[in-house]
């Protein structure tokens, strides 16, 4: 059985290197020799040490809005896996390839829940699979027009559902 507290410390160091110090080498030091990273909604990521390092260097670390914030909503720690639920908030004022690849800055604010499933070998990060609602992101930056969004079952602003200020099941109501 892995040391769950050690896994959490490594994961915290990993995310601090990604988002705070923006240090690719420090990020990679938290990982195995053969890691895999996949941001499922956009297909961005890498496999193997050099592939993941290249992804972080070119497309992720240091490629986030200056005002990006990450609020932890919940965390579950198992013997070999951490599942993190977070609320990511940012202004789309630079190109952010991992979440909006090839999309020029729109200046719009984005708030989206993100789930990270992080696999460990011992206390080293072996894999990351990251999920979010890409339709909500596209709607928030204006790439889906309001008329289209109004006809689709998309929770454009899911933070109201998360904090209880919006009642659930609204998308099931006739429009």
- What digits encode the pLDDT tens for the residues 93-147? 999 999 999 999 999 999 999 999 999 999 999 999 999 999 999 999 999 988 8
Q: What is the pLDDT of residue 67?
A: 97
pLDDT at 175 over 70: no
pTM for the model stands at 0.89
What class, spelled out in words, does domain 4-133 have in CATH?
alpha beta
Question: Does the pLDDT at position 172 exceed 60?
Answer: yes
- What is d(CA 147, CA 4) in angstroms, rounded to the nearest whole number? 47
Determine the pLDDT at residue 154. Answer: 75
Q: Band of the pLDDT at 1, cuts 50, 70, 90?
A: low
Residue 48 is encoded by which pair of tokens? 């193997």
Q: Find the farthest-apart pair of alpha carbons in the chain and give their distance in angstroms, rounded.
A: 52
Q: What is the mean pLDDT of residues 1-24?
A: 93
Q: Are 100 and 137 in contact (CB under 8 A)?
A: yes
CA angle 18, 92, 169 (to 5 degrees): 95
Task: Give the span between the Cα atoms of 147 and 137, in whole angstroms.
Answer: 16
User: Given this model, what pLDDT does residue 165 score?
Assistant: 74
Would you give the DSSP letter of residue 169? T
For residue 87, what are the CA distances in angstroms to 17, 35, 45, 74, 171?
18, 25, 20, 10, 21
């Amino acid at each position: 059985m892995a040391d769950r507290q050690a896994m959490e410390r490594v994961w915290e160091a990993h995310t601090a290197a990604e988002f705070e110090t923006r240090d690719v080498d420090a990020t990679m030091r938290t990982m195995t020799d053969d890691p895999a990273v996949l941001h499922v909604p956009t297909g961005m990521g890498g496999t193997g040490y050099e592939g993941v390092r290249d992804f972080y260097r070119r497309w992720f670390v240091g490629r986030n809005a200056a005002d990006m914030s990450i609020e932890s909503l919940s965390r579950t720690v198992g013997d070999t896996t951490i599942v993190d639920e977070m609320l990511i908030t940012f202004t789309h004022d630079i190109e952010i390839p991992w979440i909006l690849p090839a999309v020029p800055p729109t200046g719009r604010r984005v708030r989206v829940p993100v789930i990270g499933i992080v696999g460990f070998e011992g206390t080293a990060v072996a894999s990351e699979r990251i999920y979010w609602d890409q339709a909500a992101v596209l709607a928030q930056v204006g790439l889906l027009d309001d008329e289209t969004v109004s006809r689709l079952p998309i929770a454009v602003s899911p933070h109201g559902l998360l904090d209880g200020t919006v009642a659930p099941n609204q998308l099931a109501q006739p429009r």
